[in-house]
Each structure stands twice: as C-alpha cells, then as structure tokens.
Chain A
Amino acid sequence: MLLTVLLLYGLIISDERAQTLSYHSILLGRLGFYGILTLGAGVLILAGGIDLSIGSVVGLSAVLFGVLMSKGVAPAAAMLSVILLGTLIGLMHGLLVTGLRLQPFLVTLCGLFIYRGIARYISERQQGIPDEALWLKELLIGGEGEGARNQVLILLVLAVLIGLILHFTKWGRYLFALGANEEAARYAGVPTARYKIFSYILCSTLAALGGVLLLLEAGSVNPTTGGSLLELYAITGAVLGGCSLRGGEGSVPGMILGAAVLPLIRSASSFRNIDSNVEYAVIGGALLLGTIGDELLKRRIKG
C-alpha cells in the first residue's frame, strides 16, 4: 500500500508543475478531507458495519451549517450543532441496526436518500459562508495562500486519537472482535450492541465534520450535489487501506494511506493529461486491482 502511494506520488512529482508549495497544500487538504471520512468508514467497516449515507450526511451538514449561519447563528455554535446532528444520525443508525436488527446496508441506503432530501428541502439555493466565519475557515482550512493544508492537521489529531483507541485499548480489541465474529464476541462477554452503536456514531460524526470543512473550503455548497458519492470514496479508501468488508481487519495507518490513493490518482491523471471523464474508471480499476492483489496475497499466505 505504502508502495502504491509512493509510486503515485513519484508519478506526480516528476511533473514540474507539481513541484510547488501551493500544489502540495492543496493535495494535503484533499488528503485531510478524504482521510477524515475514511477513518469513520474504516472503523465502521472493521467493526462489521457499512454506511452508505456518508455523502448525504456531508451534504446535509454542509447545507445546514450554511443555513444556520445565514440565519445569524454564530459560526462556532453552528458548527457544533451540525456535528451534534451527525452524532444523532449515527446513534439512530446504530439503534436501528442493533435494536430492530435491520440490515446496515438498507438503513444507511435509506439515510442516503433521506438526508439528501432534507438538504434540498431546507435550502434550494447554494449555500455560502458569511464573513463572520472567516476566522473559522482560517483555523480549520488554512489562511490566504495556505491552500487547505490545515485539514491534514485535523486528520492527524483524529488519526492519533482513533489509532490509540483502536490499537492500544480494550475498546479497540472489542471493535475488532465484534467485526470478526459478532456471536463469538457476545459469547465472550463483549457488549456488542454498545460498540456497534459507537462505530455508527463515529462514522456519521466525522461525516458531519466533513460537511463543515466542505463548506468552509469551497465557500459554497450545492444542496443537490454537495458531498455526493463521498461514501464510495470513503469506503474505497478504507478497503484499499486494508479494511476487509467481512469485518475484523484494518488499521489506522492503512486507512490514511488508502485515503491518499484517490486524490493522488485524480491528481496524477490530470497531470498526465488523462481525460478527467475517465477518472472514475481509473478509480474503479485501481480498487479492483487492489482487491484482487489482496485476495491473491491472502491465499498465498494461507497456502
């Protein structure tokens, strides 16, 4: 994985247009943004869940963030309420999956439509950010001429935090156990429902944070398209980073490397003058190759 990322990076950096500071801060910004979403999706996937509503949650929170600020709510308060909404959405997903035993795929697929619909309902216009929120933008995204590099710092903090929980605490062991064999984990006394709900909350909360960042960085967000398809990017990043969709496998460093692949592919294809329309095919192809390679490697190890 590291190799792939370095290779792609080498491919890009060999072009002299890329050898600038501003290019790098844009790239880091992208990595930060995708990385945050991938962390949420990755933890959820390794705990055995899935969330298809990430993109819609990003869209809804970006739009709601804008609407709240345009109604005169202080930017910091608006941000916190939006992130809280993400937490509540995650809690609801978790409760539906554990309490009613609905399938995560369906619950979050419904979410995908519902949150998008709400985003379009509460605001038909594109959402922008008022001047009062510029300090927040400077803080979270980066000031004039700094590109969007601060997002990568947010990612770093989150990654360290989640990495510690996942790989060094008993809670992390429970999440892995839950993803690998929910029944066996339950029989071993792991309170599985609680950890499942936690993983959904984490995913949606990070998606809501992503929505805030999206609006701050872009300056405006379209209620219809803002954030769409991001769930697929996040899931792709997590899977490329070694999270098995069967659950129970994955690591935070892997997720971050996986999250780096997509922005790098996009960047590389634009520098190599590859038609941007073919970009999706390249992403899909990379994912398929990665999956095949992973499977072959596993079979060889298992012998």
Chain B
Amino acid sequence: MSNPVIEARGVSKRFGGVAALEDVSVRVFPGEVLAIVGENGAGKSTLMKLLAGIHSPDAGELLLDGQAVRFTGVPDALAAGIVLIHQELNLAENLSIAANLFLGRESGLLLNRRRENQDTQRLLQRVGLAVAAQRIVGSLAPGQKQLVEIARALSRQARVILFDEPTSSLTQRETDRLYEVIDDLRRQGVAVLYISHRLAEVHRLADRVCVLRDGKNAGELARHEISHDAMVRRMVGRDLKQLHPRKHPPSQNAAVRLQVQELSRAGCPHRVSFSLRAGEIVGLAGLVGAGRTELAETLFGIRPMTGGEVWLDGRRLTPRSPRQAMQAGLALVPEDRRLHGLILPFSIRDNLALPNYDRLHWLGFLRWGAVGRLVAELMNRLQVRAASPLQPVGQLSGGNQQKVVLGKWLAREPSVLLLDEPTRGVDVGARSEIYALMDELAAAGTAILMISSDMEEVLGMSDRVLVMHEGRLAGQLDRSALSEEAIMRLATGGSNDGSTAGRAADGVTALRSDYQR
C-alpha cells in the first residue's frame, strides 16, 4: 500500500485544563474513506481542526507525505491540499457559486468571469450538481450547498477532504447523492476523513473506522470488521465512578406530574410521548442535534408546539410562552446559561429575583425586604460563593453562575424542572452540590427531566433514561437496564435487539404503550 497522505502521530491538545485529545494517532491513505466515530466530546472535531490547521497540537506531530509539517493556520493546510468542510457551511450566501469557488483567489486585477464560470461549471459537473455557475448560493438547497463546498475543495486541488457531520441537514436523496460523490472522490484518489454520529452511514461509506473515546484512540476497525455493535463497544466502556448516590429513589406508584402525548413541533416530523412521575429524575440522552433541547424548549413555550397534548399535574397545558409555562409550574434551566439563563451585568440579587417578582411586590412596588430575604435564603441554600448579593453574576465562576440559574426557579417550587446540560462548564465541587440539590428536589416531589451529554451524569443520576435519535424518542431504559452501551446503541440509531443488547433488552420498553392513562 502507498504512503499515508496525512498522518497525526501522538497528538495532544488541551483547552484550559481540559484535555481534548491525548496521544492520538491516525493516518489516511489516498483513495480511502476513514470514518472517525465517538461519543459527544470524544475529540472528533478537535482532531479534524488539528488536521485542518485551525488548532495546532500541544504535543505530537503531523506528517504530510511522510514529512513532518507544522500548520500555523488554515491557509497552510489549504496549500497542502487539506480542506475541512464544516458542519455549518462556510459559503457567502449572497454571492454566486463561481464567486464562492474563487473567493480570495481571484486572479489578476480584474475578474475573469468567463474563465471562472467555465472552471466552476466543470467542477460542478464533477460533483454532479446540475445548476449554473452564476446561481446565487443562497438560493440553493442545503444538499446542493454541500456539493458546492465539495466543488470548492476540488478547485483547491484537495488531496484530503475532512467532513464534519456532513449529512446532519440533508434529506435522504441529498445524502445518497453525497455518498456517490464521496465514492467518486475515493476513485479519484482523494483521501476522505468522515465524522458522523450515524453509524449506518459509516457502515455504508467507510473503508476503515477509527474510534475515539475521551480524547484517546479506542481502536480501529478494518472494512470487514465494521458493524454497529463493534463500533458502539469501542465507543463506550469507561470506568464510571458513582457521582452522587441517589439517597431518595422514587416510589413506583408516585403520581404522574408531566404527561406528554404525541407532541410535535415545527421543523420536526416526529411525535414524542413520555411522562414524568413525582420524585423521578429522568435522563434525556442522545447525541448532539438529536432534538433534546428543542423538546425542552417546546415544553417551556419558547418554540411553538404544533400538535399533541401536554398535561401538567392533571391540567392541560398549551405552552405559548415561558411566562405561561412558568405559571403552570414548569421551570427550565437552559443549555446556554450566559445567553439564556442569566443577565450577566445584573447582580445575583436581580437575577434570582427576576422570575419571582410576581410574589415580591405590593401594587407593583417592590418589597425590598422580601426581595432581600428571598435572595439571602436562596444564596444560603445553594451555597453561592460571592462577595455580596449585589455582585454582577458575570463575575462569578461557572459553577456559581449555574447555581444562580437553578436558584431563581427554586422559590417557585416547580412541579417539573427541565434541566438542559445542568453541569456543563461547572467545576467538580459545584457539580456535586448541584447533584445533591437535584436529589433533594426530587425527594420533595419535583419531577426532573435532565438533558445531558455527559454519560457519567446520565448513568449516575437518572432513575430512568429516555434516548432521542434524530428528533424522535428511540427508546427508554429503566435503571436496571441502564448501561452506556445500551444508551449509545439507541442514540446512534441502532435497534434494541442487537446481540450484545441481551442485558439491556429486558428493560427496554416500547414507549407508546408506556404509562397509558
């Protein structure tokens, strides 16, 4: 076999204190499709960015045609023929296809449009896109834009093309078209690196699979070894330490607090049904983009609900605004706390009081005494570490910020608490405090839905786990059937009846028949 076009040898990369990649090696040969798979945060995207010159490795080296190279930026990688096609496409929507292909590389002082158009047309033919080179990119469908990106990569004499989740916004037909183009690239001797959460896709395309786990190599599969089970087995299997013992396991016959039936939302064809009982912490697992945040935001009235029914404590709720959802007894700790959870320039006091003002006023006038008491009580209960209640929350650490986001809902004593990545960017100490608080709230009868991409958290805190895959609920796992492998199988679109799922299968229940009213 020939030499690898590009190779990463023992590369490591840290961001702040967190190791994103540790001693990872990977090599790609010409005319080969190498798929990189792994869980959320396994280091796939970081590896791509190292190869594309966006980041440079802290340790280890990159080799191009067997020669050590150092990319100081994207232009270096481009010059070497390595092109990254981002998840979100990087095209100038207002320009024509031809202008996009030649953007930044226009030759001479005046544009030679005729030549650019001719060259573009030839490239578009190569990727099988039958539109005029003069078409404005903004008027193309997502799949067509993807092909334009590939044409642009080809126009740069790309020898290595890196795809980061290329099919996440494509239709089935567009995806099929992309497969054909990638097959073509392979025949033409281009090396392709392919990141995907969809293991079926990997199975269809890859000549070889490289599995990453926690930023490290976790095995390689040759063409004939590639199977859904083999991949999942290598993606999971960390030692999981007990995070926070659930001191108060839920009662089996507690009342149903939230009942969601056939819920649908704009932009998603699937309907979702599930229910939460008082005192339960239910994990909502799935890969990034599976629609978990969207589900929570629909329940909280942020996104419009287009069908189905929601019952909260036996009362019908049609959430139209966060205010309405909040008054009905829902609370949401959003995924992006700096954007949605907090008003950063506001003080701790003002953030904590904001959703509670309806109980802290007399004829509209604020009762400062009551505000002060509430804030002092919440800060004490949550152990918020700050100089004073008047300190702007923007100055607090991530953990303390998250406590404030949680704290502002506590006084309302919500029936159902929706937590979206409750401990993202939170240090270990604050993390266990947040877990203790969740346990305490559940014990007091709150039903908690916890969206989390952190497998340890899902396994450690959940009484039950719902798994989403591409907008639908792929399955549900009881505590007895809970394992990382079972979750990943459902999250990657696998079925419940795989050979290694024997242990899990008993606890997996069909969701429709569950909790019939």
With A180-B345, A184-B339, A248-B343 known to touch, is A189 a contact of B326 (CB < 8 Å)? yes
Contact B364 A171 (CB under 8 A): yes
Contact A177 B360 (CB under 8 A): no
CA–CA, A191 and B364, complex, Å: 15
CA–CA, A276 and B339, complex, Å: 47
With A173-B350, A180-B345 known to touch, is A187 a contact of B361 (CB < 8 Å)? no
CB nearest neighbor in A for B412: A189
CB nearest neighbor in A for B340: A187
Contact B343 A186 (CB under 8 A): no
Mostly helix, strand, loop or mixed at chain A's interface? helix
With A187-B302, A189-B327 known to touch, is A174 a contact of B340 (CB < 8 Å)? no
Interface size on B, residues (CB 8 A): 30
Which of A170, A176, A191 touches B360 (beta carbons < 8 Å)?
A: A170
Interface string of B361-385 (1 = CB under 8 A from A): 1001110000000000000000000
Which of B332, B343, B353 touches A180 (beta carbons < 8 Å)?
A: B343
With A186-B322, A189-B322, A191-B321 known to touch, is A169 a contact of B343 (CB < 8 Å)? no
Would you give the shortest CB distance from A17 to chain B, in whole angstroms? 45
Contact B361 A170 (CB under 8 A): yes
Q: For chain B, residues 307 to 328, give those with C-beta under 8 angstroms from any C-beta of chain A.
A: 321-323, 325-327
Contact B354 A183 (CB under 8 A): no
> Could you say which residues of chain A place their CB within 8 Å of the CB of B361?
169-170
Q: For chain B, residues 199 to 255, give those with C-beta under 8 angstroms from any C-beta of chain A.
A: none
Interface residue B389 (Cβ < 8 Å from any Cβ of A): no
> Could you say which residues of chain A place their CB within 8 Å of the CB of B343?
177, 180-181, 184-185, 248
Contact A168 B366 (CB under 8 A): yes
> Could you say which residues of chain A place their CB within 8 Å of the CB of B357?
170, 173-174
Interface size on A, residues (CB 8 A): 23
Contact B339 A183 (CB under 8 A): yes
Which of B323, B342, B360 touches A189 (beta carbons < 8 Å)?
A: B323
> Could you say which residues of chain B place their CB within 8 Å of the CB of A183?
339-340
Interface residue A188 (Cβ < 8 Å from any Cβ of B): yes
Interface string of B330-368 (1 = CB under 8 A from A): 001010000111111110001001110110110011100
CA–CA, A77 and B357, complex, Å: 39
> Could you say which residues of chain B place their CB within 8 Å of the CB of A184?
339-343
> Could you say which residues of chain B place their CB within 8 Å of the CB of A174?
357
> Could you say which residues of chain B place their CB within 8 Å of the CB of A180?
343-346
CA–CA, A180 and B340, complex, Å: 12
Interface residue B198 (Cβ < 8 Å from any Cβ of A): no
With A181-B343, A181-B344, A185-B354 known to touch, is A170 a contact of B366 (CB < 8 Å)? yes
> Could you say which residues of chain A place their CB within 8 Å of the CB of B145?
none
Q: Of A169, A170, A177, A190, which is in contact with the most chain B CB atoms at under 10 Å from its CB?
A: A170
Contact A187 B332 (CB under 8 A): yes
Which of A176, A190, A248 touches B323 (beta carbons < 8 Å)?
A: A190
Would you give the shortest CB distance from B212 to chain A, in whole angstroms? 34
Contact B346 A188 (CB under 8 A): no
CA–CA, A187 and B405, complex, Å: 11
CA–CA, A186 and B346, complex, Å: 15
Which of A173, A187, A189, A190 touches B334 (beta carbons < 8 Å)?
A: A187
With A188-B408, A189-B327, A248-B345 known to touch, is A169 a contact of B355 (CB < 8 Å)? no
> Could you say which residues of chain A place their CB within 8 Å of the CB of B364?
165, 169-171
A-B contact count (CB 8 A): 73
Contact A190 B354 (CB under 8 A): yes
Contact A187 B345 (CB under 8 A): no
Contact B355 A189 (CB under 8 A): yes
CA–CA, A185 and B350, complex, Å: 11
> Could you say which residues of chain A place their CB within 8 Å of the CB of B350?
173, 176-177
Q: Of A170, A174, A189, which is in contact with the most chain B CB atoms at under 10 Å from its CB?
A: A189
Which of A168, A171, A173 touches B354 (beta carbons < 8 Å)?
A: A173
CB nearest neighbor in A for B395: A302
CA–CA, A169 and B366, complex, Å: 5
CA–CA, A171 and B360, complex, Å: 12
CB nearest neighbor in B for A248: B345
> Could you say which residues of chain B place their CB within 8 Å of the CB of A186?
302, 321-322
Would you give the shortest CB distance from A90 to chain B, in whole angstroms? 21
Interface string of A29-67 (1 = CB under 8 A from B): 000000000000000000000000000000000000000
CB nearest neighbor in A for B324: A189
Interface string of A158-199 (1 = CB under 8 A from B): 000000110011110110110011011111111100000000
CA–CA, A189 and B340, complex, Å: 11
Contact B365 A168 (CB under 8 A): yes
Would you give the shortest CB distance from B341 to chain A, in whole angstroms? 6
> Could you say which residues of chain A place their CB within 8 Å of the CB of B300?
187
CB nearest neighbor in A for B357: A170
Would you give the shortest CB distance from B57 to chain A, in whole angstroms? 34
Q: Of A184, A190, A249, which is in contact with the most chain B CB atoms at under 10 Å from its CB?
A: A184
Which of B322, B339, B360, B365 touches A188 (beta carbons < 8 Å)?
A: B322
CB nearest neighbor in B for A187: B340
Would you give the shortest CB distance from A193 to chain B, in whole angstroms? 9
CA–CA, A164 and B346, complex, Å: 20
Would you give the shortest CB distance from A247 to chain B, in whole angstroms? 10
Contact A177 B339 (CB under 8 A): no
CA–CA, A164 and B327, complex, Å: 27
Q: For chain A, residues 239 to 264, give those with C-beta under 8 angstroms from any C-beta of chain B.
A: 248-249
Q: Of A164, A171, A181, A191, which is in contact with the most chain B CB atoms at under 10 Å from its CB?
A: A181
> Could you say which residues of chain A place their CB within 8 Å of the CB of B302?
186-187
Q: Of B343, B358, B360, B361, which is in contact with the most chain A CB atoms at under 10 Å from its CB?
A: B343
Contact B366 A173 (CB under 8 A): yes
Would you give the shortest CB distance from A99 to chain B, in whole angstroms? 14
> Could you say which residues of chain B place their CB within 8 Å of the CB of A190?
323, 354
Contact B323 A191 (CB under 8 A): yes
CA–CA, A187 and B343, complex, Å: 11
> Could you say which residues of chain A place their CB within 8 Å of the CB of B332?
187
> Could you say which residues of chain B place their CB within 8 Å of the CB of A176?
346, 350
CA–CA, A170 and B362, complex, Å: 9
CA–CA, A173 and B346, complex, Å: 10
> Could you say which residues of chain A place their CB within 8 Å of the CB of B353?
173
Q: Of B321, B341, B357, B361, which is in contact with the most chain A CB atoms at under 10 Å from its CB?
A: B357
> Could you say which residues of chain B place their CB within 8 Å of the CB of A187?
300, 302, 322, 332, 334, 340-341
> Could you say which residues of chain B place their CB within 8 Å of the CB of A165?
364
CA–CA, A165 and B327, complex, Å: 24
> Could you say which residues of chain A place their CB within 8 Å of the CB of B360?
170
> Could you say which residues of chain A place their CB within 8 Å of the CB of B322?
186-189
CA–CA, A170 and B350, complex, Å: 11
> Could you say which residues of chain A place their CB within 8 Å of the CB of B408?
188
17 A-B contact pairs sorted by A residue (CB < 8 Å): A169-B364, A170-B364, A170-B366, A173-B353, A180-B344, A181-B342, A183-B339, A184-B343, A185-B354, A186-B322, A187-B300, A187-B322, A187-B332, A188-B354, A189-B325, A191-B321, A248-B345
The 5 A-B residue pairs with the shortest CB-CB distance in the complex, in nearest-first order: A170-B357, A189-B326, A169-B364, A189-B323, A181-B343
- Contacts A180-B345, A181-B343, A189-B323 given; 12 further ones with Cβ under 8 A? A164-B365, A168-B366, A170-B366, A174-B357, A177-B350, A181-B342, A186-B321, A188-B322, A189-B325, A190-B323, A248-B343, A249-B345
Residues of A within 8 A of B (CB): 164-165, 168-171, 173-174, 176-177, 180-181, 183-191, 248-249
